Amino acid sequence: MEIHGTTAFVTGAGIRIGAAIALALARRGANLVLHYNRSREGAEEVARQVREMGRQALLVRIDQGDWPAVERGCEEIWQQTGGVDALVNNAAIFPKVPWRAIQESDWDSALDVNLKGPFAFARCLGVRMKTRGRGRIVNLSDVLAREMRVNYLPYCIAKAGVDAMTRGLARALAPEVLVNAVAPGAVLFPEEATEEYKQAVLRRVPLARPGSPEDVAQAVVYLIESDYVTGAILPVDGGERLSH
């Protein structure tokens, strides 16, 4: 699919990987719908840069852990833009909770935001894309969907669900809508990560260095442009998965 002139909706577009994805799509000529929940200042800065490129930028605030809010937001976005061509489900939370301390509320928040919310966005917009006859959905997974780290179990399991959701929606929305996922590895460390933790992770990476948000953005661009890839989970991990 030619990106120039399309409308792309990126969730969590105000910071980190989401911002890099939004800007990469704008550089290729897409108009952007920039989703945020708490990172308004970041989203506004991304919108400023998108507009400087001569593209349109619509800011929307939606709590993706609130299913009815997602459905209302999708309807409003579709009406305001005249239709979305590509959805990038990037927004997520990354709570660290030792497995013995996990509470039901930890499961609720991780699954609501990291799995149910992306599914709600994908279904609401994907059905409309399918009816219109074209579209792309790219979900952000994680190498941790296969490597269960005991201090991040709700997150890891939710991302494993994203992989399954990607494959399921690829079948449900075919042939009009192609659905894929990108699974980053050591791209951006958690803010609380120690140098010891970072080095331990990088020792498992054959390329021996962290990736960048732009590496992930390039993979997203590829999957949006591709016309014959669907149901794929594309790792962007420097080979880290080979160590498991």
**Whether pLDDT at 241 is above 90:** no
Residue 153 lies in a domain: no
- Tokens 């016309």 -> residue: 227
- Strand (E) positions, 68-176? 86-89, 135-140
**Whether pLDDT at 14 is above 70:** yes
**Whether pLDDT at 244 is above 70:** no
DSSP SS3 for 169:
helix
Residue 57 lies in a domain: yes
**Whether pLDDT at 129 is above 90:** yes
**Whether pLDDT at 211 is above 70:** yes
Smallest CA-to-CA distance from 56 within 18, 6, 2, 91 is with 6
Residue 128 lies in a domain: yes
Strand partners, 42: none
Residue 151 lies in a domain: no
Residue 126 has a pLDDT of 98
Give the pLDDT confidence of 139-198 residue by residue, as tens digits.
999 999 998 889 999 999 999 999 999 999 999 999 999 999 999 999 988 777 889 988
Which whole number is the average pLDDT over 224-240? 97
Q: 102 is written with which tokens?
A: 């996990």
CATH of the domain at 171: 3.40.50.720
DSSP SS3 for 130:
helix
Please tell me the distance from the alpha carbon of residue 133 to that of residue 144, in angstroms, as a whole number.
Answer: 34
**Whether pLDDT at 11 is above 90:** yes
- Catalytic positions, please? 155
Identity of the residue numbered 151: N
Please state the domain count of the chain. 1
Residue 75 lies in a domain: yes
CB atoms within 10 A of CB 5: 11
Smallest CA-to-CA distance from 202 within 239, 171, 173 is with 239
Residue 106 lies in a domain: no
Q: Which has the minimum average pLDDT: 49-53, 96-100, 115-119, 219-223?
A: 96-100
Which whole number is the average pLDDT over 45-74? 98
Residue 64 has a pLDDT of 96
**Whether pLDDT at 202 is above 70:** yes
Order the strands of the 7-10 sheet from edge to edge: 57-61, 31-36, 7-10, 86-89, 135-140, 177-184, 233-236
DSSP SS3 for 90:
coil
Give the pLDDT confidence of 18-43 residue by residue, as tens digits.
999 999 999 999 999 999 999 999 99
Contact 181, 162 (CB under 8 A): yes
Return mean pLDDT, the chain.
96
**Whether pLDDT at 243 is above 90:** no
Q: Is the dihedral of CA 53, 118, 60, 230 positive or negative?
A: positive
Please tell me the distance from the alpha carbon of residue 74 to that of residue 104, in angstroms, as a whole number.
Answer: 28
In whole angstroms, how large is the CA radius of gyration of the chain?
17
Prediction pTM value: 0.96
Residue 2 lies in a domain: no
Residue 73 lies in a domain: yes
Range of the domain at 131: 7-93+117-143+159-236
**Whether pLDDT at 122 is above 70:** yes
Give the pLDDT confidence of 217-227 residue by residue, as tens digits.
999 999 999 99
